[in-house]
Amino acid sequence: MNILEEDGRGLLLGNEAIVRGLIEAGVKFASTYPGTPSSEIGNLLEELSGEIGMYFEFSSNEKIAVEVSAAAAAAGVRSFAFMKHVGLNVAADPLMTLAYSGVIGGMLVLTADDPSVHSSQNEQDNRYFSTLSLLPMIEPSTPAEAKDMIKYAYWVSEKLGLPLIYRTTTRVNHARSIVEYGPITDTPAKGHFRKDDKRFVNIPAYAKQNRVRLLELNREAQELSETSPLNYVEGGGDIGVITSGVSYTYIKEYTSGASILKLGFTNPLPEKKIADFLKDKRYVIIAEELEPFLEDQVLRICAQNGLTVPVYGKRSGHLPREWEYSPDTMRRLNSLLTVRDMPEPLPSVAAKLPGRPATLCAGCPHRGMFAAAKKAAGKRDIIYCSDIGCYTLGIQPPFGTADFIICMGGGAGAAGGFDEATDQKAIAFIGDSTFFHSGVGPLTSALFNSHKITMVILDNRTTAMTGHQPNPGTGRDFGNISTEPIDIETMVKGVGIKFVRTVNPYDVRETENTMKDALDFDGVSVIISKCPCPLELKKRKVLKIRECTVNQDKCIRCHRCVKTIACPALVKKGDTVATDPTQCIGCGMCANVCPKNAIEVKE
């Protein structure tokens, strides 16, 4: 399967289908900060952008991703900024005023929402960003639609001169369906920015007028929505369903007996079309995941048009607001619709099953750093502020090194607050990519305000959790552009931090000593725990695998290795600990903490 082929079809992941859609629409500029469930788009563009003549970058954060793509679109180049839902919070600042400026070339801002919080910290419904910013929004229901709607979305964006919000969810990004390839078009890769202060410089006098212009464009957008081929009615009858996104697929396959108004262009809503649809209905069901975004607007449309048709959904208690929908959710509608017979599930098994949460990998350097921090902390009262990344998994035993997590860079900011508001010591763990994303601000702020915090930068030389994307600390080498890594130690010293040490977390004992010094330091201290992610090395086929073995004659069964490192490659059966050769990479962390040197590392 090659998504660059002229024609044909493929069984594509939603994120692959989106890349195909970009190619068909001739998009020449893309930017992102990686985040699940949107990450595979970036991984593919990293691989293909050079070949398809597209400029692509991993920006340091989502705000920058929107800004660089905004500039491209202002210069007339079709651009695409994409991110996970919470990333749009970071990018909300440029987005809100970009709506006032508008664009010349088409621009889509993709937000990948995560109902059921599969790999996020919240379940926010980003459709509200479209009504907040007054930007048009399009919502595909399947991978095939996610590809097909992109070309149309660029047409809308250019017709209105506005960026457009392209909203997906996990079950679109990470679903697969058969995608038919369409013709590939070409657009210019380079544009030219023409000075137009009234649009692009939103000083109050201009912003005031642009606000009026935006409201006018919003009315125009509504006309487009009224006649959009993305908003259509299927079937007839006096029972109606209004639906969008993946919910449409559950309605379509698991229920029958209703006329369906399927919405793909969901901001502004096609109000006349909705009012017409409602007129001859006995009742209407609104099927959408998360918040009653469509439902509340439908209720308003009813009120404005003097319609008294009952509207069932979340407000009526028929459908839940929390978590993603599934075919099983349709059972809740069986008093209103014909719901397909679903076989009775087997009961749970009687056996007691061990849990299997996601866990830090065998040989993960974070294990060493966490073990050292815990040991160095001893009996001190510590607040472990953590952040968004693999190291969030430090919440698990035996570490417990995640007491407070809110958002990207949030741990570093919060640590300063805890330092001032309590007599406890605050440690902020932050990954290398997250440090560049939003860790520099809180670090300088801590120095500026004299917060006596310890920041531990877990520099595993990659953006690991989202699938190993490069970041400013690694440099880039794709799309015919190579850059040098930015050295974190030089940078941190450069801002004036007096205590900066780089440690090898595989040397747990030495790391513990350094950590003690950092905690004792009277000021901001920074430890850089520098060790590449073994999974990333494995992927690049450069991991030098060694092997640890437990010498059972020397082992005193103290289990310190298991208790402090808890590596999945250490297997404890009864009283005996052995290594699992299929998992062990020979990092030697366990050997380092062994009091009797009973664990041998072999080359």
Partner 1 sequence: MKYTVQIVGVGGQGVLLASMVLGTAAMRSGYKVAMSEVHGMAQRGGSVISTLRFGDDIISPLESAGGADLIIGFEPVETCRNIQLGNKDTFVLMNLDPVYPSMVAAGFEEYPDIQELVESVRSLTENLMTLDATKTAISAGKAVAANAVMIGAAAAVKAFPLKKELLKEVMLEVVPEKSKDLNSKAFEMGYDIAS
Please list, in sequence order, all residues whose beta carbon lies within 8 angstroms of the beta carbon of residue 480, skipping any fewer than 6 positions away: 50
Residue 587 φ/ψ region, left for φ over 0, alpha for ψ in the -120 to 50 degree band, beta for the rest: alpha
Report the run of H or E that residue 30 belongs to, with start and end.
strand 29-32
CB-neighbour burial class of residue 97 (10 A; exposed 0-12, middle 13-18, buried 19+): middle
Residue 344 touches partner 1, criterion: CB under 8 A: yes
Minimum distance, C-beta of residue 292 to partner 1, in the bound complex (Å) = 22
User: By CB under 8 A, is residue 357 in contact with partner 1?
Assistant: yes
Using CB under 8 A as the binding criterion, the count of chain residues that bind partner 1 stands at 65
- What residue has token string 């900066």? 500
Contact between 407 and partner 1 per CB under 8 A: no
Least gap, CB of 356 to partner 1 (angstroms): 4
Burial class (CB in 10 A: 0-12, 13-18, 19+), 318: middle
Q: Cβ 558 to partner 1, closest distance in Å?
A: 13
Output 36 or 228, the one with its CB closest to partner 1: 36
In the region spanning residues 172 to 201, those forming contacts with partner 1, defined by CB under 8 A, are: 174-178
Applying CB under 8 A, the span of 147-155, 292-300, 357-365, 437-445 interacting with partner 1 comes to: 357-365
Closer Cβ to partner 1, 27 or 577, answer by number: 577
- The tokens 């250490």 sit on which residue? 570
> Smaller CB distance to partner 1: residue 344 or 423?
344
Asked if 468 interacts with partner 1 (CB under 8 A), we say: no
The span of 251-259, 438-446, 468-476, 511-519 binding partner 1 (CB under 8 A) equals 251-259
Is residue 250 at the binding interface for partner 1, with CB under 8 A as the rule? yes
> Is residue 541 involved in binding partner 1 (CB under 8 A)?
no
CA distance 244 to 248: 6
DSSP SS3 for 109: strand
* Selected range binding partner 1 among 130-138, 168-176, 194-202, 287-295, rule: CB under 8 A: 168-176
| Closest listed residue to residue 295, CA positions, set 318, 323, 279 | 318
Among 59, 60, 225, 249, binds partner 1 (CB under 8 A): 249
Q: Decide: 511 and 529 in contact? Cβ < 8 Å.
A: yes
Name every residue whose Cβ is closer than 8 Å to that of residue 557 and which is 6 or more positions away in sequence.
575, 576, 577
Region of 497 please: left (phi>0), alpha (psi -120 to 50) or beta: beta
C-alpha–C-alpha distance, residues 66 and 37, integer Å: 18
By CB under 8 A, is residue 332 in contact with partner 1?
A: no
Smallest distance from partner 1 to CB 594, Å: 15
Q: Which CB atom, from 224 or from 508, has the smaller least distance to partner 1?
A: 508
Give whichever of 212 and 353 is closer to partner 1, judged by the CB atom: 353
Largest interatomic CA distance in the chain? 86
Q: Which two tokens stand for residue 568?
A: 């999945």
Closest to partner 1 by CB, 405 or 455: 405
By beta-carbon proximity to partner 1, the closer residue of 37 and 76 is: 37
Per-residue DSSP letter, 329: G
Residues 401 and 328: their CA atoms lie apart, in Å, by 37
| Token pair listed for 189 | 């890769």
Binding-site member from 4, 11, 481, 558 for partner 1 (CB under 8 A) = 11
Min. distance of Cβ 111 from partner 1 in angstroms?
16
Task: Give the SS3 label for residue 276.
Answer: helix
Q: Of 317 and 347, which CB lies nearer to partner 1 in the complex structure?
A: 347
Enumerate residues 471-510 that contact partner 1 by CB under 8 A: none
To the nearest whole angstrom, how small is the minimum distance from the Cβ of residue 426 to partner 1? 25
Binding flag, residue 327, partner 1 (CB under 8 A): yes
- 590 contacts partner 1 (rule: CB under 8 A): no
Q: Which of 216, 397, 602, 603 touches partner 1 (CB under 8 A)?
A: 397
User: Measured between alpha carbons, how far is 240 from 513 in angstroms, rounded to an integer?
Assistant: 68
Specify the residue, 204 or 347, whose C-beta has the smaller distance to partner 1.
Answer: 347
**Region of 61-69, 198-206, 243-251, 303-311 interacting with partner 1 (CB under 8 A):** 243-251
Closest separation between CB of residue 103 and partner 1, Å?
31
Please, what is the minimum distance in Å from the beta carbon of residue 50 to partner 1? 24
- Structure tokens given for 178: 């058969």
Nearer to partner 1 by Cβ, of 176 and 493: the residue is 176
Q: How far is the CB of 47 from partner 1 (least distance, A)?
A: 16
Judged by CB, which is closer to partner 1: 120, or 511? 120
Q: What residues are paired with 107 via a beta bridge?
A: 79
Nearer to partner 1, 329 or 529 (CB): 329
Q: Is 142 in the site for partner 1 (CB under 8 A)?
A: yes
Q: Does 560 bind partner 1 (CB under 8 A)?
A: no
Identify the bridge partners of residue 303 per DSSP, sorted by sequence position: none
* 3-class SS letters over 33-85: CCCCCCHHHHHHHHHHCCCCCCEEEECCCHHHHHHHHHHHHHCCCCEEEEEEH
Residue 254 as a binder of partner 1 (CB under 8 A): the answer is: yes
Q: Residue 47 interacts with partner 1 (CB under 8 A)?
A: no
Kindly list the distances between the CA atom of residue 454 and the CA atoms of 206, 412, 442, 581, in Å, as whole numbers in the listed order: 45, 9, 12, 36
Residue 100 C-alpha from the chain's centroid: 26
Q: Which residues contact 195 (CB under 8 A, 6 or more apart)?
A: none
Are 14 and 443 within 8 A, CB to CB?
no
Residues lying near partner 1 in the complex (CB under 8 A): 1, 9, 11, 13, 36-37, 39-40, 118-119, 141-142, 171, 174-178, 246, 249-250, 252-254, 326-328, 342-361, 390, 393, 397-398, 465-467, 559, 562, 566, 568-573, 580, 582
